[in-house]
Amino acid sequence: MNLTINGEERRFSGDLDLAALVASLGLDARKVAVERNLEIVPRSAYAATHLADGDRIEIVHFIGGG
């Protein structure tokens, strides 16, 4: 299936949940927030959130700002 993650097209095979995606990207789930198709996904729901072809995922974190 194809996912758009932070604006980048990425291809994955098989069933994938959000917890697995975040881990496969090398990210610490405690330090990010995720939006799936413009809806916030609570951290507690990552493992239960199965991704579908065409999903648009945004993964963000805090950076320096004023």
Q: Which residues bind another protein (CB under 8 A)?
A: 5-8, 25-27, 31-35, 38, 40-43, 58-66
Identify the CA nearest to 48 among candidates 18, 26, 27. Answer: 18
Least gap, CB of 12 to another protein (angstroms): 13
Q: Are 25 and 32 in contact (CB under 8 A)?
A: no
Least gap, CB of 23 to another protein (angstroms): 11
Nearer to another protein, 28 or 53 (CB): 28
Nearer to another protein, 1 or 45 (CB): 45
3-class state of residue 55 by DSSP = coil
Report how far residue 11's alpha carbon sits from residue 42's, in angstroms, rounded to the nearest whole number: 24
